[in-house]
């Protein structure tokens, strides 16, 4: 269960610091119909960090 909201900038930092695997997030977003084609972690984090994720999504991803 999620008890805290993950801010967009914090999500970006988690991706860049590799605390959250980009492949996990790509897989989850692909299941939702969102496909990213970034070549490296920094590009991917820059593209994805503004996506609004609710408590259910954060719980599913496992942040």
Q: What is the CA radius of gyration of the chain?
A: 11
Is there a domain that residue 3 lies in? no
Query: pLDDT of 5-62, one tens digit each?
Result: 667 788 788 888 988 888 888 888 888 888 888 888 998 888 887 776 666 666 776 6
Is there a domain that residue 2 lies in? no
The pLDDT, as a whole number, for residue 62 is 66
Is there a domain that residue 52 lies in? yes
Is there a domain that residue 1 lies in? no
Q: How far is 3 from 1, CA to CA, in rounded Å?
A: 6
The pLDDT, as a whole number, for residue 36 is 83
The pLDDT, as a whole number, for residue 25 is 83
The parent domain of residue 14 ranges over 8-61
Q: Are 49 and 12 in contact (CB under 8 A)?
A: yes
User: For the chain, what is the domain count?
Assistant: 1
Is there a domain that residue 48 lies in? yes
Question: What's the pTM?
Answer: 0.65
């Amino acid at each position: 269960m999620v008890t805290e909201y993950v801010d967009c900038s914090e999500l970006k930092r988690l991706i860049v610091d590799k605390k959250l695997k980009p492949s996990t997030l790509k897989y989850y977003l692909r299941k939702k119909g969102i496909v990213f084609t970034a070549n490296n972690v920094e590009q991917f984090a820059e593209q994805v960090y503004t996506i609004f994720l609710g408590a259910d999504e954060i719980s599913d991803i496992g942040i």
